[in-house]
Amino acid sequence: MKSPLTSLHSMTLSYFLIALIAASVAAEHVVYVDAYQFDDHARRWQTAYNHSVALAHAIEQYCVDFPVVDPIANNRTWTERLGGLNSRGIKYLKVERIAQDAAKRLVDPDGVPYVIATESDPDFELINPQSHARGEFHVGSEGTGAGVGVGHCDSSAQLSYPRS
């Protein structure tokens, strides 16, 4: 015959093991969710960085082909120009692959419009202050905090490599 103390110990041990298994499952779930969120953030960061660089290159090439331009901005006019609505019909950027808001500004994966900073902005800092190049601009994502794309748009420069 079993003593009541033995039954109590086996019940306590059973509850303890069940609690331990539940804690292990909960911890595994937390680790999985954290890993998923990290992966999702990394993908959004990389996408925003790639878009920033592509946007900077597109604007820079547009400035080579059309030296006299109005100030660079993330607005409907520039989105349309880069998307092919320009006098030459050149498509500098596949704007349909980048999300846009209601104002037709290009937005990052978090839905925040890309920021285009130019030398005329008060907080602007040149990437290379020793450089004599003019017209530097930066394209960045404030939503994801991704790195910036850097370009130059100097309408006074006589560039020798126009689009053929």
Give the pair of three-digit tokens for residue 8.
Answer: 């109590």
164, part of any domain? no
Give the pair of three-digit tokens for residue 113.
Answer: 């419009």
162, part of any domain? no
Cβ-count burial 57-86 (b if 16+ within 10 Å, e if not): bbbbbbbbeeeeeeebebbeebbebbbeee
Q: Range of 88's domain?
A: 4-152
pTM of the model: 0.75
| Sign of the dihedral defined by the CA atoms of residues 74, 117, 64, 97, in that order | negative
Give the span between the Cα atoms of 142 and 52, in whole angstroms. Answer: 11
158, part of any domain? no
Check: CB of residue 87 under 8 Å from CB of residue 69: no
121, part of any domain? yes
Alpha carbon 87 to chain centroid, angstroms = 30
Total number of domains constituting the chain: 1
160, part of any domain? no
43, part of any domain? yes
Check: CB of residue 87 under 8 Å from CB of residue 94: no
Q: What residue type is assigned to position 135 of the chain?
A: G
**pLDDT tens, the chain, 164 aa long:** 556 555 567 888 888 889 989 999 888 888 888 888 888 889 999 999 999 999 999 999 999 898 877 899 999 999 999 999 999 999 999 999 999 999 999 999 999 999 999 888 888 888 777 776 778 899 998 887 877 889 888 766 555 554 54
139, part of any domain? yes
159, part of any domain? no
